[in-house]
Structure 1
């Protein structure tokens, strides 16, 4: 397996599991992951939030861990990376307002590089206008964003554990989908895990 260089776009109040787990899995496999946030440098942190389902009509939000950035946003040269990961949480709703974030996302889509996005991360994909004619899923509240951007919505299963692959795009609805989402992303990356 060839080691790949993966860019992860995050921001304050990124969902804790959706940044920590893929970051750890991809590094464990042997890939290099650069986690960046607009207006922040390597070594700085973003706050994370734990989203959970505890009987309310929507998820609740609790403080998570601080997550340390591994690269500086202003130094990103998207052509240096083989793939992109966009975790969910509240971060996507505001990082999608950053023109440079959208430019980076468009580079990966235009060059058919693998993109893994989960939960509210698809808000960034919609804002970058890269979902047209693509099948994907997301947190159900993001369905209007997906459809407005020309994407084809794929229903979330009862346990929110499904992932959808359309070409090099791998999407999932929320952190319960990590096993399927990461498995499918690793397949798209061409990564192999020895038995």
Structure 2
């Protein structure tokens, strides 16, 4: 397997599962994941928010964990990374106001590098003007934003070239599997051991 260096954009009140699960899963497989946040350095933390879907008109929100960043945002050189992960939650709403975040995002699209975005992470892609002519999805309430950015909307995990998008953390299994395929990561599926009688 080829190890990739992957940049993960985090921020205060990023969705808990959507930052923790990809970060841990990609590292477990052997990729090097650098988690960064504007105005923060390695060792700083981002509080997370747990979004759940409990039958209300929109998601509910509960306090999550402290997610520890692994690298300094100011030291990021996009050319040194092979892929980008953009989780959702509250963070993308304000991360998209940082010119540096938009420039980093544009680099991955300009160089046709793999990008995995989930839920409200599509707000950053829309603000970076990289969705024109794409087919993608995100949190359902963002359909108008995505269409307004020139993309075709779907209601399911979607792969468009090197872009993989999903609606929210329940999409993790399919979303991560598609992203690993884009990365060229071959994961051997071990057969479960037979249970002793």
For 1:28 and 1:88, locate their aligned partners in 2 and report how far apart those are by CA, in whole Å.
Answer: 21
For 2:116 and 2:53, locate their aligned partners in 1 and report how far apart those are by CA, in whole Å.
Answer: 23
| TM-score normalized with structure 2 length | 0.95
**Does 2:20 align with 1:5?**
no
1:191 to 185, 191, 197: 185
The Cα of 1:163 is off from its aligned counterpart by 1.2
1:176 to 170, 179, 183: 170
List per-residue Cα deviations over 1:150-176 (Å, max 9, x = no partner). 011012xxxxxx410000000000000
For 1:145 and 1:34, locate their aligned partners in 2 and report how far apart those are by CA, in whole Å.
Answer: 28
Gaps in structure 2 of 5+ consecutive residues:
190-197
What is the DSSP-based 3-state SS (H/G/I as helix, E as strand, rest coil) of the residue aligned with 1:144?
Answer: helix
Q: How many residues were matched structurally?
A: 189
The Cα of 1:99 is off from its aligned counterpart by 0.1
Q: Which runs of 4+ in 1 moved over 2 A?
A: none
Structure number, greater radius of gyration = 2
- The residue correspondences of 1:1-195 to structure 2 (distance < 5 A) are 1-155=1-155, 162-195=156-189
What is the DSSP-based 3-state SS (H/G/I as helix, E as strand, rest coil) of the residue aligned with 1:192?
Answer: coil
What is the DSSP-based 3-state SS (H/G/I as helix, E as strand, rest coil) of the residue aligned with 1:27?
Answer: helix
Superposed CA RMSD in Å reads 0.6
What is the DSSP-based 3-state SS (H/G/I as helix, E as strand, rest coil) of the residue aligned with 1:126?
Answer: helix
The Cα of 1:55 is off from its aligned counterpart by 2.6
For 2:54 and 2:136, locate their aligned partners in 1 and report how far apart those are by CA, in whole Å.
Answer: 26
Corresponding position of 2:195:
none
The Cα of 1:53 is off from its aligned counterpart by 1.5
For 1:31 and 1:55, locate their aligned partners in 2 and report how far apart those are by CA, in whole Å.
Answer: 36
